[in-house]
Each structure stands twice: as structure tokens, then as C-alpha cells.
């Protein structure tokens, strides 16, 4: 019996996407959301982790934030990791990092990536459901709970906490 070579083995493994985003707040606790031009609903600054070159989720969060809103801010601590299923795509492992609090001067430095984004807005926690579709509102809510409690990162499945 012959065994397949390692490359064949790897090629046959299931595919999972990875994404990373940064949670920025202002001094009033409102969250910075961006409005994409390529899909419905709003999002956090962030995007897909590049598999070429071995980019990590943390590196992707920083790169995507710099590309999308013009702020090159090292991500803070991991707030949440969400295993998100979708009907028309492979599963996504979505990482949310703390971007900290942006003061008025930092907010004035925001420069949108016009190829992908229409606008940005600061939204209070009670208004997030009007902007965010699907599990993103749940994911962000869990991340905000971590920030409020000072606790450790939370593991999620489709935006809902799992485990002990």
C-alpha cells in the first residue's frame, strides 16, 4: 500500500477562512463601525487574513485597519475568537482585538479606503443591532462584555459563548 505524499495530504484537508478586526471606541464608549460598499450591513475595521506569507490574525488586523481607515495601531489584547458558519462559504475563524479608545485627534486622522468603504460612524452599544447583520452583533457584544468585565478572551460559535 502506498501513502500519499504530504502535499497531497495537505491539499485534501478542509478549508477554513480566517478574519481579523479591531474594536475601537471613543471616549463615550461608542464603537467605530465602517460601511462597506460591496455588501449589506456595517462592519468593524478588518478583513481576511492573507495566507500568502503566513500572516497572523494579529498582523492582519493591523494591516487591514491601516488600509481601511488609515490608522496604523498595534492591536491590543485578543477579545474574542468566533467560529462562524455560513451557508454560502466555508467556516470563518474571526478574531477581534482591542484597538483602545480613540480621542478626538485620532478620530480626525481617519481616512477611508474609498475602494471598499462608504463611511464610518461611532455607534453606541444599544444601536449596534441596527447596523450589524447576522452574528457580528453577537460577536461584538461578547467582545464588549470582555472589555467591560476586564476578563479574558471569549470563545464563540456563531457569536455565542461556548465552553466552561
CA distance 100 to 74: 10
Would residue 116 count as lying in a domain?
A: yes
The pLDDT of residue 7: 83
Q: What percent of the chain has pLDDT over 70?
A: 97
Instruction: Identify whether 121 is part of a domain.
Output: yes
Closest CA to 79 of 62, 94, 92, 66: 94
Q: Tell me whether residue 81 is in a domain.
A: yes
Domain that holds residue 26: 17-161
Compute the distance between CA of residue 138 and CA of residue 129 in angstroms, rounded to an integer: 9
**What confidence tens digit (pLDDT) does each residue in 5-38 have?**
888 887 777 778 899 999 999 999 999 999 999 9
Query: For residue 2, is pLDDT > 70?
Result: no
- Domain of 67, CATH number, reads 3.90.79.10
pTM exceeding the 0.85 threshold for the entire prediction:
yes
Does the structure show a pLDDT above 90 at 53? no
| Residue 132 resides in a domain | yes
Residue 63's Cβ-side half-sphere holds a number of Cα atoms within 13 Å equal to: 12
Overall number of domains in the chain: 1
**pLDDT exceeds 70 at position 119:** yes
Q: Please check whether residue 8 lies inside any domain of the structure.
A: no
The answer to whether position 143 is within a domain reads yes
Specify the 3-state DSSP secondary structure of 3: coil
Categorize the per-residue pLDDT at 102 as very low, low, confident or very high, splitting at 50, 70 and 90: very high
Quote the mean pLDDT of the chain.
92
Residue in the block written with cell 450591513: 41
State the cell numbers at 87. Answer: 451557508
**Does the residue 1 lie in any domain?**
no
pLDDT computed for residue 22 by the predictor: 98
CB environment 32-53: b (16+ within 10 A), e (fewer)? bbbbbeeeeebbbbbbebeeee
Q: What pLDDT sits at residue 3?
A: 61
Cα(77)–Cα(99) distance, rounded to whole angstroms?
Answer: 8
59-79, pLDDT tens digit by residue? 999 999 999 999 999 999 999
d(CA 84, CA 156) in angstroms, rounded, equals 8
For residue 5, being part of any structural domain is answered with: no
Percent of the chain with pLDDT over 90: 77
Distance separating alpha carbons of residues 64 and 116, to the nearest angstrom? 11
Q: What is the pLDDT of residue 127?
A: 95
Amino acid at each position: 500500500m502506498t501513502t500519499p505524499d504530504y502535499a497531497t495530504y495537505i491539499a485534501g484537508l478542509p478549508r477554513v477562512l480566517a478574519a481579523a478586526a479591531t474594536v475601537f471606541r471613543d471616549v463615550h464608549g461608542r464603537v467605530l463601525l465602517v460601511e462597506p460598499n460591496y455588501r449589506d450591513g456595517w462592519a468593524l475595521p478588518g478583513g481576511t487574513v492573507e495566507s500568502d506569507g503566513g500572516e497572523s490574525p494579529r498582523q492582519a488586523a493591523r494591516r487591514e485597519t491601516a488600509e481601511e481607515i488609515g490608522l496604523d495601531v498595534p492591536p491590543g489584547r485578543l477579545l474574542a475568537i468566533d467560529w462562524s458558519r455560513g451557508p454560502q462559504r466555508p467556516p470563518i475563524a474571526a478574531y477581534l482585538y482591542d484597538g483602545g479608545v480613540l480621542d478626538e485627534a485620532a478620530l480626525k486622522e481617519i481616512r477611508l479606503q474609498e475602494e471598499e468603504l462608504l463611511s464610518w460612524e461611532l455607534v453606541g452599544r444599544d444601536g449596534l443591532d441596527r447596523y450589524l447583520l447576522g452574528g457580528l452583533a453577537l460577536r461584538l457584544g461578547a467582545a464588549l462584555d470582555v472589555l467591560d468585565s476586564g476578563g479574558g478572551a471569549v470563545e464563540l460559535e456563531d457569536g455565542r459563548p461556548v465552553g466552561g
